Amino acid sequence: IEQNRLNYDRTHQAELRVDSYRGLADYVTGDNDSAGPPGVRRVILPSSFPGSPRAMVQNYQDAMAIVSKYGKPDLFITFTCNPAWREITEQLENGQTASDRPDIVTRVFNIKLQELYCDLFKKQIFGAVNAYISVMEWQKRGLPHCHMLITLAEQDKPRSVGDIDSIVQAVIPDHETEPRLYNIVTSCMMHRPCGQDNPRSPCMVDGKCSKRFPKQFRDETDTELDGYLEYRRPDDGRTCVSGGKVLDNRSVVPYNRYLALRYNGHLNVEICGMIQAVKYMYKYVYKGPDRAALHMVRRNDSFNEREVNEIDEYVNARYVCAPEAVHRLLGFDLQSKSHTVYRLQLHLPDYQTVTFQGGREEEALRRAAERD
């Protein structure tokens, strides 16, 4: 299905073109044989294709428009599928694993994601929500996860240390008094051994953990570190074992007690209202899938004639896992927002966008002039 849509865009490049009014006028009154910059041919992947780089940029700009209206987000939530969910394991046949049934994984995660939306936006467990955005992502091992940035109403924003600690916890629960929460946190919310204990961990970059684990012990939450909170992590002696290593509160990924118990999975909750780098957070969630591209050319090849093919770059540089393919086939949302953003066509005089078909430039120019 996706390949058919890409083929349509590839084969209809010449039928529908877009340029500024001034550029089209220069073309009509000048050299009609000119087809753009010399030596360069560009094949466009339009923003109408979901998940394309242009679509991600436009969604990011829409999100920034929401920020300009409702302010910075207060909560950053990441919800990841748990392959050990009972709803998944009960549907597997003997010998099967969750990776063998991406259809079940996708449907179950989408149901739980909709329930999480209900908890956050209808039941308002953290307070009234003014605005939000959410974006789907897929890990290379196949598990879907969703990033959310949520802006709370003014009266419900977490401002004090007490407010923060009531929403986010970063401690190992007591095994005796909270055995179920202890099992969930130790199995789903612990940053696995890295550093000297596991230098080959995926989080290791240049010999350091990119997530900055393990953290330092803290008796109380610190809000003075350039907007990046350091949550309460007391040295209370509580530990668990992961990968043959003993972990303590320094390795706990921040979570919310209620959501952890309700969804039994990796559900990272962070307070982000004090972070100044707002654009970075939104660029992070709209960064799109991981990509890698390699081009081989002969040493003596000329670069005078080259093609910039956005469709090939999109196809050749992407890794599509089975759950993502099923997600798209079932028509589930790739991203959502609390508000509809109307994109205004603001432009300088004679630089409005003009859409035209190849060979009918003069007609399009005349229509644009009459419309203005």
Number of CB atoms found within 10 A of residue 51's CB: 19
| Mean pLDDT of the region 357-363 | 68
Instruction: Parse the chain into domains and list their residue ranges.
Output: 1-36+348-372, 53-285
- Determine the pLDDT at residue 332: 94
The confidence score (pLDDT) of residue 292 equals 57
* pLDDT for the residue 278: 87
pLDDT digits (tens, 9 = 90+) for 158-186: 989 999 999 999 999 999 999 999 999 99
In order, the DSSP letters of 251-303 are GBPPB-HHHHHHH-S-EEEEE-TT-S-HHHHHHHHTS-S-B-------TT--S
Residue 65 has pLDDT above 60, yes or no: yes
The per-residue pLDDT for range 280-333, each reduced to its tens digit, is: 889 888 876 666 555 555 555 554 445 567 667 666 667 788 999 999 899 999
Per the CB < 8 A criterion, the answer to whether 350 and 365 are in contact is no
pLDDT at 369: 76
Between CA 202 and CA 210 the distance in angstroms is 9
- Give kind and range of the element (H or E) at residue 181: helix 179-188
Which pLDDT value is given to residue 253? 97
pLDDT, greater one: 208 or 364: 208
User: What pLDDT sits at residue 34?
Assistant: 43
User: Which 8-state DSSP code applies to residue 158?
Assistant: -
Q: What is the pLDDT of residues 237-260, one digit of tens each?
A: 999 998 889 999 999 999 999 999
pLDDT at res. 261 = 98
Can you tell me whether residue 337 is helix, strand or coil? strand
Asked if the model's pLDDT at residue 40 lies above 60, the reply is: no
pLDDT of res. 119: 98
For residues 283 and 182, what is the distance between their CA atoms, to the nearest angstrom?
A: 34
What distance in Å separates the CA atoms of residue 237 and residue 176, rounded to the nearest whole number? 14
Where residue 24 falls among pLDDT bands split at 50, 70, 90?
Answer: low
Residue that has been written with the tokens 């924003």 in this structure: 157
Q: Which residues contact 90 (CB under 8 A, 6 or more apart)?
A: none
